[in-house]
Amino acid sequence: MAEPSETVCRVCGYDDGVEPFWEGGRPDEGAICPCCGNEPGMSDVSVMGLRGYRGYWLGQGVPWNSPGSRPKDWDILEQVERIPAEWR
Ligand SMILES: [Zn+2]
C-alpha cells in the first residue's frame, strides 16, 4: 500500500495543499519549504532530526525562506498546530 503524499512540512506545519514534500514514502527532490527552509529528506527524516532543525529555526526568530510567500496575517502558532502528531 502506497503511503499518502504529504503536503504539510514536518518541521513547521506549512501546507500549500498542492506541492508534496513527501510522496509514497520518499522525499520530493528539489522541494524546499518556503517557510522554514526545510529540505525533505535532509533534516526531517527522523523526529529527533527535525526537532533539532525546528529548534534552530525557532531560535533564529522563525525567518521565512521565501519572505515573499509569507501571508500578512501569518500565525505561527496556528501553523504549527498542523504539524502531524507523529512529527511533533
Ligand atoms: Zn517548513
Q: What is the whole-number distance in angstroms between the Cα of residue 82 and the centre of ligand 1?
A: 11
> Is the residue at 56 inside a domain?
yes
> Is the residue at 13 inside a domain?
no
Mean pLDDT of the 48-74 span: 97
> Is the residue at 11 inside a domain?
no
Instruction: Please identify which residue in the block is written with the cell numbers 532543525.
Output: 53
> Which residue range forms the structural domain that includes residue 55?
22-87
pLDDT at residue number 40: 97
> Is the residue at 15 inside a domain?
no
Question: What's the total number of domains in the chain?
Answer: 1
Cite the beta strand spans of 4-87 per DSSP E.
22-23, 26-27
Q: What is the whole-number distance in angstroms between the Cα of residue 72 and the centre of ligand 1?
A: 17
Residue 4 pLDDT greater than 90, yes or no: no
Residue 22 pLDDT greater than 90, yes or no: yes
> Is the residue at 75 inside a domain?
yes
> Is the residue at 53 inside a domain?
yes
Mean pLDDT of the 64-72 span: 96
> Is the residue at 14 inside a domain?
no
> Is the residue at 10 inside a domain?
no
Q: What is the whole-number distance in angstroms between the Cα of residue 14 and the centre of ligand 1?
A: 5
Mean pLDDT of the 5-27 span: 95
Residue 1 pLDDT greater than 60, yes or no: no
Burial of 75 (0-12, 13-18, 19+ CB in 10 A): exposed
